[in-house]
Amino acid sequence: MNIAVTVKEIREQVSGWRKQGLSVGLVPTMGYLHEGHKSLITRAVSENDKVVVSVFVNPMQFGPAEDLESYPRDMDRDAAICEEAGAALVFHPDASEMYHNGFSSFVDMNTLTGGLCGKSRPVHFRGVCTVVAKLFNIVTPDRAYFGQKDAQQLAVIRHMADDLSYGIEIKGCPIIREEDGLAKSSRNTYLDEKERKAALVLSKALSEGRKLIELGERDADKIKDTMTGIINTEPMAKIDYVEIVKWDSLEPVKNIDGPVLAAVAVFIGKTRLIDNFIALED
């Protein structure tokens, strides 16, 4: 497995693969990889001849008061996980390689990004769309893989890829959880022992919400109230949002009559965690 740091290196390598008639998968990440990322790479390896993993902490998707500088990084560990999972190439550029001096072109979206995480992180999805669009242009993959834990991101990228006619198959992959139910996340490393225990309230609330839908409850407000009540039993938890939205458009729903995304964002101490489930999906 090789590690490339320039766009030129990636394009030369992918061009060589294309000449051999090989398919290419892409797994975009911000590094500090865990079992969730590894599951994406493993899936990509099973469905493509060659897999590129990008490891890039994208400054454009962080707001001024967010954790860009403290975001965990460990490239040696990331490279070992990529190699173990079967990736052929890691793309690990500096910010200056992705955003040259005078960079001023962006990919933005007028739908899907205003609610959920976009409401409290207004610059986030412009940064996500811009960097993913660049990665699509650089790698030109046949398929790209994203985790369901960032469900709004998955929906946004699918919409962007369709709008911009990339012709890339966007693959959503299941949330990988710890044994006690906590969704795996690079930000879990911020939690101390008490906060780690308190964070379980997210998966508990979502589990109860899923159960209500499975039992036939279709009033979204009743389900949200139940999940909110569970989260509020934890003194260390501060809710950013608890929402139920249509899975295709991310529009809020009152009565559930099709596939929905139930999503939560909660601060445990200073750490913002997200989790979700998708219900009634075909």
How far is CA 6 from each of CA 99, 132, 137, 193, 219, rounded to the nearest angstrom?
Answer: 12, 16, 13, 40, 51
Q: Which two tokens mark 58? A: 């994208």
Closest to 91 (Cα-Cα) out of 134, 36, 129: 134
Could you give the CA distance from residue 10 to residue 66 in angstroms, rounded to a whole number?
30
Does residue 24 contact residue 51 with C-beta atoms inside 8 Å?
Answer: yes
Collapsed DSSP state (helix, strand, coil) of residue 180: coil
Q: Which two tokens mark 255? A: 């009565």
Catalytic center residues: 37
Closest to 136 (Cα-Cα) out of 20, 14, 31: 14
**Sign of dihedral through CA atoms 185, 191, 195, 196?**
positive
By the 10 Å C-beta count (0-12 exposed, 13-18 middle, 19+ buried), 208 is classed as: middle
**241 forms bridges with which residues in the sheet?**
265
Q: Which two tokens mark 199? A: 């964070």
